[in-house]
Structure 1
Amino acid sequence: MYAAERQQWLLNRTREAGRLDVAVTAEELDVSAETIRRDLDALERQGLLRRVHGGAIPADLLGFEPGISARDSVAAQEKERIAKAALEELDGATTVLLDAGTTTARLAALLPTDRELTVVTNALPIASMLAARPNITLLMLGGRVRGTTMATVDEWALDVLGDLTADVAFLGTNGFSAERGLTTPDRAEAAAKKAMLGAARRAVVLADSAKHGADQFVRFGRLDQVDALITDTGLTPDTAAALSAAGPRVVRA
């Protein structure tokens, strides 16, 4: 069993049972306890579960959501490949919506410098990154700032998005699956993401493969509302085909 497969198995087992014991699981999978601990640590950094003494419990039992500094170091190489692949989805667009997130921030850093773009974002880190770019007209959505993700949310952001039509929106997600679509832990942030989906002619979701099956508290979109889902090769071809059948073109970067 590959590490990604084992971690998905651990995540599913934790959610099914409500708790996972390191020693018992190591014996069941015939691996060392240290291997299981490393896997659980990796899943906690992604906000998918919470470590407790001797094992782990589902993250949503504690309302746990990691901050952007913790999430940025997780799956860094995969996020970089996803961001580079996402550049192909610009496809002549001149108006772009950029959702808050560590993968969308990597895309922001790669935006072309040889063409004029209007970028609308609710992410303070992305706005700070793009503010001095001479070829970019930057529009920052207002609203309450969530300290966890540094994203603006609530009515001030939603009111503006309701009046926009952008060429393409690039969105992040905390979880995706054929069954539950696109999900995130926070209701206010889900509302902002849903508004971005509705404000764009094309929607592209950027999500590393560890987020597959990691369904969160609030659904903000269906897969058939998405034109492309860009992930990494940790997602199996069979799973990619099943997701594609639900709506989006799936790219494994």
Structure 2
Amino acid sequence: MSSLAERHQYIIKKLQKEQYINVVDLCSELKVSSVTIRKDLKLLEDKNLLFKIHGGATLTNPYTVDRSVNEKEQLQSNEKLSIGQAAAALVNENDSIIIASGTSVLAFAKSIPLNLPLTVITSALNVALELSHHPYTEVMQLGGMLRKSSSSVMGPYSESILKDFFCSKLFLGVDGIDLEFGLTTTNMMEAHLNRQMISVSQKTIVLTDSTKFGKRGFGKICNIDEIDHIITDSGISEHVVKQLQSLGVTVTIV
């Protein structure tokens, strides 16, 4: 199978089935060089049939844009509710946890039992407000520069406060998860804060709907193997689940 048309047909069919394709795998399967495969991917991208990414290609646009929290809250709302409920089941009595910003973690905050004794550190104003109604939850709101699009704070002041604490779990929302590039958000300062959160947490649990996979934001948070657990919905492909598990990440699908 070496003709241009046959290769392109094979690539598109494989991509439609798996959502992501790898240059190395295609070289082996089609018995051509990586140079040839990269040229094929470039031609298909020029025809708007796929998006080239590092090491392969995907069907979905990998680049995320910043949206307001009000807009994002309307997207995949049922999936986020289920993800939040699954995450709430992981919280134990008298836990000390960090809740980052985002609509998935807000859904998680809304799912935490009202009478559960808990200490929460958060950068998100909407999360703090939600938990202010919980009589046995102590809430520490981080300070810093307000990021209006996410209703959260960020910056060096937020990061410096975190250095005085260590928590059992971090519940983290992201704008993109790429198997090679890692976890990202659309804001570099928030990415820095998220990295600090990871460094002071025993376990990092990522809450994300399946549309975030294969996406990349501007600011890199961390590599995939630096997280412990991902909770997502059934829209995630089997291929991505296997790749995550091979990197030592627990995957919960709701």
Question: How far did residue 166 of structure 1 move?
Answer: 0.6
**Structure 1 range deviating more: 83-92 or 100-109:** 83-92
Map of 1:221 onto structure 2: 222
Q: Which has the larger radius of gyration?
A: 2
SS where residue 203 of structure 1 aligns?
strand
Question: How far did residue 93 of structure 1 move?
Answer: 5.5
Contact 1:178 1:246 in 2 (8 A): no
Contact 2:115 2:134 in 1 (8 A): no
Question: How far did residue 132 of structure 1 move?
Answer: 2.7
Whole-Å Cα distance in 1 between the matches of residues 118 and 93 of structure 2? Answer: 10
Question: How far did residue 115 of structure 1 move?
Answer: 2.4
Question: How far did residue 92 of structure 1 move?
Answer: 4.8
Question: How far did residue 88 of structure 1 move?
Answer: 2.6
Question: How far did residue 169 of structure 1 move?
Answer: 0.7
Map of 1:124 onto structure 2: 125
Map of 2:235 onto structure 1: 234
Whole-Å Cα distance in 1 between the matches of residues 247 and 90 of structure 2? Answer: 20
Map of 2:183 onto structure 1: 182
SS where residue 206 of structure 2 aligns?
strand
Whole-Å Cα distance in 2 between the matches of residues 224 and 238 of structure 1? Answer: 17
Whole-Å Cα distance in 2 between the matches of residues 92 and 198 of structure 1? Answer: 23
Whole-Å Cα distance in 1 between the matches of residues 250 and 216 of structure 2? Answer: 20
SS where residue 88 of structure 2 aligns?
helix
Question: How far did residue 80 of structure 1 move?
Answer: 0.9
Map of 2:69 onto structure 1: 68
SS where residue 150 of structure 2 aligns?
coil
Contact 2:105 2:172 in 1 (8 A): yes
Whole-Å Cα distance in 2 between the matches of residues 175 and 122 of structure 1? Answer: 19
Map of 1:101 onto structure 2: 102
TM-score normalised by structure 2 residue count: 0.75
Whole-Å Cα distance in 1 between the matches of residues 197 and 180 of structure 2? Answer: 21
Whole-Å Cα distance in 2 between the matches of residues 222 and 247 of structure 1? Answer: 12
Describe the superposition over 1:166-219 as per-residue Cα deviations: whole angstroms up to 9, x where unpaired: 111100000112211111111100011111111111110001111001012221
What letter matches 2:101 in structure 1? A
Contact 2:93 2:118 in 1 (8 A): no
Q: Aligned residues: percent identity? A: 26
SS where residue 148 of structure 1 aligns?
helix
Map of 2:199 onto structure 1: 198
Inter-CA distance 224–92: structure 2 relative to 1 (3 Å threshold): farther
Map of 1:139 onto structure 2: 140
Contact 2:93 2:117 in 1 (8 A): no
SS where residue 127 of structure 1 aligns?
helix
Question: How far did residue 91 of structure 1 move?
Answer: 4.2
Q: Superposition RMSD on alpha carbons, in Å?
A: 2.7
What letter matches 2:176 in structure 1? G
Map of 2:87 onto structure 1: 86
What letter matches 1:222 in structure 2? N
**Structure 1 range deviating more: 197-206 or 238-247:** 238-247
Map of 2:173 onto structure 1: 172
Contact 1:121 1:141 in 2 (8 A): yes
Gap regions ≥5 residues in structure 2: 1-11, 21-40, 51-59
Contact 1:72 1:102 in 2 (8 A): yes
Gap regions ≥5 residues in structure 1: 10-15, 30-42, 50-57
Map of 2:53 onto structure 1: none
Whole-Å Cα distance in 2 between the matches of residues 182 and 207 of structure 1? Answer: 11
Contact 1:93 1:168 in 2 (8 A): no
Contact 1:93 1:167 in 2 (8 A): no
Whole-Å Cα distance in 2 between the matches of residues 93 and 202 of structure 1? Answer: 16
Map of 2:26 onto structure 1: none
Moved over 2 A (4+): none
TM-score normalised by structure 1 residue count: 0.75
Q: What is the number of residues matched between the two proteins?
A: 210
Contact 2:94 2:119 in 1 (8 A): no
